[in-house]
Structure 1
Amino acid sequence: MTTPRQHVKNAAGFVLVWLVAKVAHRVRFRAGEIPRTGPVILVANHLTMTDPLAVARVVIGHRRFPHFLAMQEVFGWPGVGALARVTGQIPVARGSAAAGDALDSASERLDQGQLVALYPEGRLTTEVDRMPGPARTGAARLALRHPEAVVIPIGTWGPQQGHHHIWHRHTACLSVGPRLDLSVWAERTDDAAAREVTDVIMTAIRDEIGHAQQMWSAR
């Protein structure tokens, strides 16, 4: 049960993230179906350090609040770390034995009917064409662990890596895709299933990037 104090924290989180996100980007998005209630897993490509704010704008526009899996270092950054802690984001201790704890925390959020957002690549995209590179299986394992959760792919285009986008408000185009049908892998949590579902997730993200690129060209 959500306490009055939690309601206040949630409301503050909405306002804080909305304001920061609005300053960072002009967001244009192609609407998809992000359910208003129940557990949701969002998966997206990761172009820059600020594109989670663009994703957050879209999610909040659907009257949901995102909980991102973010590298632990972010929580130590001045200002940004405080915002991440206050809004209940999930730290990931990359490259350590504790890295799996983030998926456990994400599972708890899904059990509570919340929305969790992940970048399957586990890092910023480094490919020359800015398309997603090899992905890790964390998002797929989370989806297999929670078959009741709706999995939604998002494709982002626009902001580029570097410092320029941090100091200038750029347009970010996002395409929100339809929910993924993962019923073929029902009741499976093995490594092969995780790899197959990862491929499905990345194919869906690339499809949505194509739509986002069209939006970017027509802006």
Structure 2
Amino acid sequence: MTRLHKPKAGFWIRLCVVLSYPITTAFFRLRWRNVDRMPATGGVLVAVNHISQADTLTMARLVWHSGRIPRFLIKHTVFGWPVLGRIMGGAGQLPVYRQSEHAADSLRDATKALQRGECVVIYPEGTITNDPDYWPMQAKTGVARLALSCPDVPVVPVGQWGAHRTLGRRGRFRPIPRHRHEASVGEPLNLDRYRQAAPTGETLRAMTDEIMAAITAEVERLRGETRPATTANPAASA
């Protein structure tokens, strides 16, 4: 796959590429759709459904293939891990502090990255979906807060499917056969009607649901199926 654009990338990002490419090539047959919909320059918020612990690697490769440098929102505990934590910090990834006094720092850092013209990648669900068939579940409102904080930054929905067959819930690893993993990039969403809205619970929920509906529509296209009538609740056990 040839990259669509080639922005400058530092040592740590290139190290991530060198390490991740052999892994994603060995375990997945990758197929992307509509990657040219990714804005070539400027801040962009990429919202993706979450189906596997392995899909951060595949989504990083998709974003890199589009010609952008991905900045993922990642659990802050990862940054304390030996080696991997150093790589994530050096590569400019963004720590997420959940249910702590530092929780607001996550949105602040992501907002600054978007304002600098970065490509920020977020899993709105916050964790791997607990839907039994891996459909997207109800998301948290952090993605809407970010969109409101940077109203001129496009929100791009991405649906993905297949990584769970290789690495499923509770660490079930099935590397053989090499499973197909697909992703589809949706059109940037028009959220202009929320531009002047106050960040009330109702507004944040409406925006979040609209973003997740666009992601789910891409998943439907990949699966060739219609989403279930009931959306899984993230409060339920996975």
Q: TM-score range by the shorter chain?
A: 0.7 to 0.9
Q: Give the aligned partner of residue 55 of structure 1.
A: 59
Query: CA shift at 1:135, angstroms?
Result: 0.9
Q: Give the aligned partner of residue 131 of structure 1.
A: 135
Q: Give the aligned partner of residue 76 of structure 2.
A: 72
Q: Secondary structure at the match of 1:100?
A: helix
Q: Give the aligned partner of residue 29 of structure 2.
A: 26
Deviations 1:71-123 (A, max 9, x none): 11221233322221111111111121211210000011011111101011111
- Aligned equivalents of 2:29, 2:12: Cα separation in 1: 20
- Aligned equivalents of 1:166, 1:138: Cα separation in 2: 32
The answer for unaligned runs of 5 or more in structure 1 is 1-6, 215-219
Q: Give the aligned partner of residue 108 of structure 1.
A: 112
- Aligned equivalents of 2:81, 2:50: Cα separation in 1: 19
Residues 63/201 of structure 1: CA separation in 2 closer, same or farther (3 Å cut):
same
Q: Secondary structure at the match of 2:155?
A: strand
Give RMSD over aligned pairs: 2.0
Deviations 1:105-162 (A, max 9, x none): 0011011111101011111111111111121100011001111101100111102224
- Aligned equivalents of 1:108, 1:123: Cα separation in 2: 23
TM-score between both structures, scaled by the size of structure 2: 0.80
- Aligned equivalents of 1:211, 1:138: Cα separation in 2: 26
Query: CA shift at 1:164, angstroms?
Result: 4.4
Q: Give the aligned partner of residue 215 of structure 2.
A: 205
Q: Secondary structure at the match of 2:10?
A: helix
Deviations 1:161-202 (A, max 9, x none): 243448666432111111000011112232222111101001
Which of residues 174, 177, 194 in structure 2 aligns to 1:185? 194
Residues 20/172 of structure 1: CA separation in 2 closer, same or farther (3 Å cut):
farther
Q: Give the aligned partner of residue 217 of structure 1.
A: none
Residues 174/107 of structure 1: CA separation in 2 closer, same or farther (3 Å cut):
same
- Aligned equivalents of 1:176, 1:71: Cα separation in 2: 24
Identity of aligned residues (%): 36
Is 1:84 the equivalent of 2:93?
no
- Aligned equivalents of 2:105, 2:80: Cα separation in 1: 18
